[in-house]
Amino acid sequence: MSRLERLIPALSWLKVYTRSDMQTDMMASLIVTIMLIPQSLAYAMLAGLPPAVGLYASILPLIAYALFGSSRTLAVGPVAVVSMMTGTVALGFAAPGSAEYLAVVILLATISGLFLIALGLFKLGFLANLLSHPVISGFISASAILIALGQIKHILGISASGHNLLEMVESLYAQLPNLNWATVILGLISIAAIHLLRKYLNPLLQALGLSKHQAQLASKAGPVLVVICTTLVVMLFSLDQIGVKIVGAVPSGLPPIALPPIDLQLARELLPAAMLISIVGFVESVSVAQSFAAKRRQSIDPNQELVGLGAANLSSAISGGFPVTGGFSRSVVSFDAGARTPMTGVFTALLILVTLSFLTGAFYFLPKAVLAATIIVAVVQLIDFKGFLNVWRYSKQDAYALIATFFMVLLVGVEAGIITGVGLSLLLFLWHASHPHIAVVGRVPGTEHFRNVQRFQVETKPSVITVRIDESLFFANARVLEDRITHLVASHTGIEHVVLMCTAVNMIDASALESLEMINDRLKSAGIKLHLTEVKGPVMDKLKGTELFSHLTGKIYLTQNQAYEALCPERTAEA
Amino acid sequence: MSRLERLIPALSWLKVYTRSDMQTDMMASLIVTIMLIPQSLAYAMLAGLPPAVGLYASILPLIAYALFGSSRTLAVGPVAVVSMMTGTVALGFAAPGSAEYLAVVILLATISGLFLIALGLFKLGFLANLLSHPVISGFISASAILIALGQIKHILGISASGHNLLEMVESLYAQLPNLNWATVILGLISIAAIHLLRKYLNPLLQALGLSKHQAQLASKAGPVLVVICTTLVVMLFSLDQIGVKIVGAVPSGLPPIALPPIDLQLARELLPAAMLISIVGFVESVSVAQSFAAKRRQSIDPNQELVGLGAANLSSAISGGFPVTGGFSRSVVSFDAGARTPMTGVFTALLILVTLSFLTGAFYFLPKAVLAATIIVAVVQLIDFKGFLNVWRYSKQDAYALIATFFMVLLVGVEAGIITGVGLSLLLFLWHASHPHIAVVGRVPGTEHFRNVQRFQVETKPSVITVRIDESLFFANARVLEDRITHLVASHTGIEHVVLMCTAVNMIDASALESLEMINDRLKSAGIKLHLTEVKGPVMDKLKGTELFSHLTGKIYLTQNQAYEALCPERTAEA
């Protein structure tokens, strides 16, 4: 694979792109588009932007990702959580609807595009690992609640605002008297309809004779049905006259292509938020891409994904759009619709372009309450209580990180929540690593296998103590190791040899090396020899040439058993 | 050991305290005192405080630590690095010599006292592990240079200031014309004298017939000799008349006991600095305590050490002193002088009290240049270039953390340096953990031992691939594992079993558990069974009852060899 192909994965699959590929991809793109249009409009609204912007963000980004992305199935565009984050950030800098607001959003997309590309080129994708699954889960659940709450105002036909749970509830409560009954009814009916269609359309269609697969695909169009019907209702009974808010005129024509204006001062202030949005979007997207790649025995390159998403965001900024990333639901649809290559994305982009050029009039009477309904039904699925229970059952520590993130996001804000979660999981891991499990082991009779003397019936030798430390040796536990060994030696009499079984030692950093040298010296002064066994290749390579290696009082054995046989062969006691 | 004895370790050794213990401890305390007095004066000067404060900080803290500390040998009091940090912080809030300045310093001692005790009671001692050896080494070396530079003004008899290298050099250069020759000569002679005495006094005394041990002890009094001689010289030739700055009148009498006034606003501003001073002091102190404990087959309890040092700092604040911690050189002296119990600290405190009550007059003519000389000679020892070379040879990554810390401290400041160092070592560790070494292993013929197929002549089976992941499985590498396994399976044909050898897996957090479930599902859909072997007891305990445990397509074997024997027993190929 040439360097160019590595930079532009499209080149490799375009070479083998066939006519039949094109047909299936086109078919899939049609279905994706039908689903993507209402989503784009809704998520633009969620980000506090005019609906057209949602469509702008669904054209160039799809093409850019098709060129630079490494996933064959991922469908990019506006997604709920990222749109919500974008809205929250922009609100802090300008009033929704104002030109400044749009400028802030475009700058956000620009920065996160550049940031993602930089991460990718410097191979810093691993930084995304800072977000542990529990933190993400807590973050997503809380965001879903915030998003749903934020949409209720559209269902009630009132105007409310707020960055966190309390503010939102407060402002909703304050505005409650002004609610518009026509909107409420329309909204509730839409929610019910979308929910029921999601549940029963598929079996219904199958009963009507569609194949399982066709039915499954068609049922995805449920929300679109509701959108069309309600739009017609509003138009026919001109409900907009009685206070039902509608999308209104959507400027038709191509998105305004322009180099985004860079306000460095503003950029500096937006940087942290933009970085957070990028990381969150990347993590969400990469996990989606990974699971689809696995299904088709393909694989994705996280760092290339960063470049792909970065390119998508940059091109979104250039075309007056807002931050985008890979979405789960639309990827599922495109996958089920049989999309074979990223060309599906290109075709989808073209279809959106057509819509934007000729069909924007159709959205005029589309009621905002219905868009809100689609969002609410979509995000409510994201609240993952079962996942929390699993984590809680498995590991209290992880559960605490999840809970902390959840409530911080809900009560303080997205950034505070994620920072808390990341900090907490780092601290918890560090706590874990600095309280390593250290087992005194003996040989399982009749085998060459050594296990914990407290858990297994094993044989040991009185003058030999074998210690298995179940942790890499690095700064977080270097001192702890010194402590434990001193304790062990002090608490066992007649020790002549201390054997450090390194099966679990995957790394020895400079701090731990110093500690091992100290341990070696101290044992030496007590007339005790220190031996190492089962040192891993990579660790051994580094140890060679160190003072420890040359000053070690004992030997380094390939296997624990060889050491056990070699040391004081005569004496053996049943433990 | 009762809970009370655990809180106040003194109770346990006081019970068995003998008359002979008392005699040796008294003897030792005398020697420690002789060394401690000039040190206390010097370090008070280093912290920008009047000399008497140095003595105040050497009375109650010693007694408090004797009661609550867990080390039998550690000698606490003012130390160079902590004093320097205190001075740098206080300078930012008040002018040296002013009452506000002293108030700030006392508040610093109060806060760090409370902070240390809190850490101890909540068993958070492990947080100190955040400071890796390379970071500490880089920090100490840089601080030593800053300290030495900061003292040069006293040697030159000029007044200069500055928080970092550039500022200091600049201000020294600006003041150079005003240097005072008498001071310079006195200062340089003192430096030379202290240096030479440190080097040759010990052998000289041995040549004069003292025992090696006596000579060693006596030679520690070298600086004191110089202090006495130069003081006499200044007095006899009244050099103070020609511009040699002297300590001058030191108020005699007991330290002013008073509850430190708490200015909450100021306290909030001082908190970060105080926390940093505490952690640095604790780390320095605990490593000293640990090495001495090991020498005597005793052990220390880090969390109890926190309480001890916290109590020491609180009592320092109460008696108008500044932050203290365990010092290396004085602990060596007290250890060599045969100190058996912390009672040595109590006796030292009493001797300092006597000095403060009756001998302060003796310090009147003591020239500041000489105190500076003692500091310079002492801290120059701390610059550890050899240590850097070792780290550089062993691990470039650790070396980078060291270098970054060193230069940040030198050029920006102590806090920036430590924060950079800690952040960097965390990132480097995370990078390491998220790029785990994964080896495909086979059996070493004739043994039950499995090693890397690339490093050893081993036997493998075509339909079984055994993967040993050399890292705990947690959020930092959960996704990486998914990736690698997918790759491995995709790149080997005819695989029926994937065996995950968990010898190196010391922990599986919730993130990794999810990933393992996904891996299990994906392999299942490809008709491949996933097996685990050599799962550690603690990990196994947690896995029981998880979905992975119940849905696992394969088995969990006690040993890798059992799995190897059990899976497709017929076919075997020489790799």
Residue pLDDT, tens place only, B538-558: 889 889 888 888 899 999 998
Q: How far is B117 from chain A (nearest CA, A)?
A: 19
pTM for this prediction: 0.76
Confidence band for B159, pLDDT divided at 50, 70 and 90 = confident
pLDDT at A378 over 90: no
pLDDT at B574: 44
Q: How far is B154 from chain A (nearest CA, A)?
A: 37
pLDDT tens digits for range B478-522:
878 887 888 788 778 788 899 999 988 888 988 899 889 988 988
Beta bridge partners of A465: A498
Confidence band for B294, pLDDT divided at 50, 70 and 90 = low
Interface with chain B: mutation pick from A303, A426, A469, A479, highest number of B CBs within 10 Å? A479
pLDDT at B575: 41
pLDDT at A570: 55
Tell me the domains of chain B and their CATH numbers. Answer: 3-10+19-249+279-427 (no CATH), 438-574 (3.30.750.24)
Asked if A510 lies within 8 A of B398 by C-beta distance, the reply is yes
The whole-number average pLDDT for the span B242-268 is: 85
- Looking up tokens 């929540």 gives A417
Separation in Å, CA B117 to CA A415, B108, B264, B308? 32, 14, 19, 8
Residue B202: what residue type? N
The whole-number average pLDDT for the span A487-512 is: 86
SS3 B71: coil
Distance CA B555, CA B541 (A): 16
Distance CA A249, CA A162 (A): 27
pLDDT at B573: 47
| Nearest alpha carbon to residue B138 among B320, B402, B340, B400 | B402
Distance CA A356, CA A363 (A): 10
Residue of chain B whose Cα is closest to the Cα of A470: B506
* Averaged pLDDT of chain B: 88
pLDDT at B569: 66
pLDDT at A292: 77
Confidence band for B123, pLDDT divided at 50, 70 and 90 = confident
Which of A397, A432, A447 is opposite residue B448, by nearest beta carbon? A447
pLDDT tens digits for range A186-205:
999 999 999 998 888 889 98
Distance CA A533, CA B395 (A): 22
pLDDT at A25: 92
Residues of chain B contacting residue A435, judged by C-beta atoms under 8 Å apart:
126
Which of A133, A294, A561 is opposite residue B475, by nearest beta carbon? A133
Cα–Cα–Cα angle for A210, A216, A221, rounded to 5 degrees: 100
pLDDT at A21 over 70: yes
Residues 304-363 of A with CB under 8 A from B: none
Q: Give the ipTM of the model, two decimals please.
A: 0.75
On whether the CB atoms of residues A266 and A107 are closer than 8 A, the answer is yes
Separation in Å, CA B168 to CA A128, B370, B490? 41, 20, 61
Distance CA A267, CA A260 (A): 12
On whether the CB atoms of residues B270 and B105 are closer than 8 A, the answer is no
The whole-number average pLDDT for the span A99-118 is: 94
pLDDT at A182 over 70: yes
Cα–Cα–Cα angle for B41, B44, B45, rounded to 5 degrees: 90
Asked if A474 lies within 8 A of B429 by C-beta distance, the reply is yes
3-state secondary structure B187-208: HHHHHHHHHHHHHHHHHHHHHC
On whether the CB atoms of residues A109 and A317 are closer than 8 A, the answer is yes
Beta bridge partners of A443: A450, A459
Beta strands in A312-401, from DSSP E residues, in sequence order: 325-327
Beta bridge partners of A508: A473
pLDDT tens digits for range A429-475:
888 888 888 889 999 888 888 888 888 888 888 889 999 888 888 88
pLDDT at A574: 45
SS3 A452: strand
The whole-number average pLDDT for the span B36-63 is: 92
On whether the CB atoms of residues A30 and A351 are closer than 8 A, the answer is yes
pLDDT at A573 over 50: no
In this predicted structure, which of A258-272, B385-399, B476-490, B531-545 has the lowest mean pLDDT?
A: B476-490
Asked if B126 lies within 8 A of A435 by C-beta distance, the reply is yes
Residues of chain B contacting residue A489, judged by C-beta atoms under 8 Å apart:
297
* B470 at interface of A, judged by CB pairs closer than 8 A: yes
Interface with chain A: mutation pick from B292, B297, B475, highest number of A CBs within 10 Å? B475
pLDDT at B572 over 60: no
Residues of chain B contacting residue A293, judged by C-beta atoms under 8 Å apart:
486
Q: Which token pair is B216?
A: 């060693």
| Nearest alpha carbon to residue A75 among A137, A28, A24, A14 | A28
The whole-number average pLDDT for the span A388-415 is: 90
Q: Which token pair is B123?
A: 């068993």
Contacts of B417 (CB under 8 A, 6+ apart): B138, B139, B142, B405, B406, B407, B408, B409, B410
3-state secondary structure A289-331: HHHHHHHCCCCCCHHHHHHHHHHHHHHHHHCCCCCCEEEHHHH
Which of A293, A425, A476 is opposite residue B475, by nearest beta carbon? A425
Confidence band for A218, pLDDT divided at 50, 70 and 90 = confident
pLDDT tens digits for range B66-97:
999 988 889 999 998 899 999 989 988 999 88
pLDDT at A575: 41
pLDDT over 90 for what percent of chain A?
33
pLDDT over 70 for what percent of chain B?
98
